[in-house]
Amino acid sequence: MGSDPIIAAMLERLDAIEEKVAHLERALNELSDVVARQQKELDRALERNQRLLDKIAAIESESGTSATAYEKPPHY
């Protein structure tokens, strides 16, 4: 029995689909790594921001003033 052209075409399409899936899986893993890294960076930035806010609050309570007390009033 000879090679059926329909089966050969289907196998070729299947190979192409498998190749695309492999590329998509690799891209998904790379994106997942990027998202995980960015989440860690965001968490560190939020922690740093909270520490700065805590320091500002401590300075304000020690001096009895508010950081906003030094702001110029808005111009009308």
How many Å apart are CA 19 and CA 14, to the nearest integer?
9
Per-residue confidence in pLDDT tens, the chain, 76 aa: 557 999 999 999 999 999 999 999 999 999 999 999 999 999 999 999 999 999 999 998 988 776 555 666 677 6
- pTM score, two decimals? 0.61
At 75 the pLDDT is: 78
The three-state (H, E, C) secondary structure of 23-73, written as one string: HHHHHHHHHHHHHHHHHHHHHHHHHHHHHHHHHHHHHHHHHCCCHHHHCCC
